[in-house]
Amino acid sequence: MKNRIFTTLLLSTALALSAFAQQTNPNSSAQPADRDHQDFWEGDEPGFAWLVLHPFASKGYVERHVQPIQDRVKELDELTASNSKMIRDVDARAQQGIQLASTKTNVADEHALAAANKAQMAQQSATAVNTHLSRVETMAGNIDLYKSAPPTEIRFRPGQTVLSKQAKNALDEIATQLKNQHGYVIEVQGFSPGQGQAAIAHSRTIADSVVRYLVLNHEVPAYRIYVIGMGNVRAAKRTSGTRVEISLLKNDLAQTTKQ
């Protein structure tokens, strides 16, 4: 009961104060109905009722004016967060691109270095081939340059084709000089008195006996022996009779010793 009486008195006092304010402020009737939409401190001096009721009326006023600002701030925060995310994404892609470019650059450098090494090796190989080719050309140009040693003469009695002991000793000495040697040719020429084909045939027979002894007894390669029956050629020789002249032709090129 007491609460109701207090509430009634409070409302009555508020209504009385409001009526008193309207009477004391003749311009109050001219105020627009939507004064709450204006700034509280703008316009005429506020009445006593506004001063009393303002703490209750300004809360909605502040909320109406502050809400757009809060919405704008929220929008700016969202935009800032979106821009930050975009910046981070761009930075991540840029870093990834830089790393990829660096990797490709390193691979390209490795390939270039490998190509340079191969080119250097190819150049060295070409130089070696040119050097070897020059040596081969020199050897090929001098391959037929043989030096002839003084000939060895093997004499036969007329009508005989068998080697004497003295003849075998001479051939043994020649074969000893040729042991483990390369780049030589043995020229065996047979001479026999007589005329025509008979003399040539006999001279070839005694020359063959010399070749046979060198091949069978000393394993001289047959392809290194050149045999010819000269017959009766007196004008070209200082001596005559049945004989075989052995000439050793040697090539002094170092390359031919390896053939």
The CATH number covering residue 158 comes to: 3.30.1330.60
Please tell me the predicted confidence (pLDDT) of residue 169. 94
Q: How is residue 231 written in tokens?
A: 């017959």
Q: What is the pTM of this model?
A: 0.44
Same domain, 244 and 153: yes
Which of 96, 113, 142 represents a domain boundary (last residue)?
142
Q: Where are the alpha helices (DSSP H) in 25-47?
A: none
Same domain, 138 and 52: yes
Contacts of 221 (CB under 8 A, 6+ apart): 215
Please tell me the predicted confidence (pLDDT) of residue 207. 93
pLDDT in tens, 122-143: 888 888 877 876 766 665 555 5
Angle at the Cα of 184 from the Cα atoms of 181 and 186, rounded to 5 degrees: 120
Please tell me the predicted confidence (pLDDT) of residue 86. 87
Domains held by the chain: number: 2
CB 148 within 8 A of CB 248: yes
pLDDT in tens, 91-115: 888 888 888 888 888 888 888 989 9
Alpha-carbon distance of 259 to 249, in angstroms, equals 16
Please tell me the predicted confidence (pLDDT) of residue 150. 87
Please tell me the predicted confidence (pLDDT) of residue 41. 46
**Letter string b/e over residues 155-176, b meaning 16 or more CB atoms within 10 A of that residue's CB:** bbeeeebebeeebeebbeebbe
Please tell me the predicted confidence (pLDDT) of residue 23. 52
Low-confidence ranges of the chain (pLDDT < 70): 1-63, 65, 133, 135-145, 234-239, 252-259
Domain that holds residue 102: 31-142
Same domain, 112 and 91: yes
Q: How is residue 224 written in tokens?
A: 């290194």
Which of 142, 167, 192 represents a domain boundary (last residue)?
142
Burial class (CB in 10 A: 0-12, 13-18, 19+), 61: middle
Residue 136 lies in a domain: yes
CB 152 within 8 A of CB 245: yes
Please tell me the predicted confidence (pLDDT) of residue 49. 54
Same domain, 205 and 226: yes
Alpha-carbon distance of 46 to 133, in angstroms, equals 119
Q: How is residue 249 written in tokens?
A: 């032709």
Strands 225-231 and 184-191: what pairing?
A: parallel
Residue 4 lies in a domain: no
Q: Return the residue matching tokens 């043995």.
A: 186
Counts for the chain of helices (H) and strands (E), in that order: 4, 5
Which of 142, 164, 181 represents a domain boundary (last residue)?
142
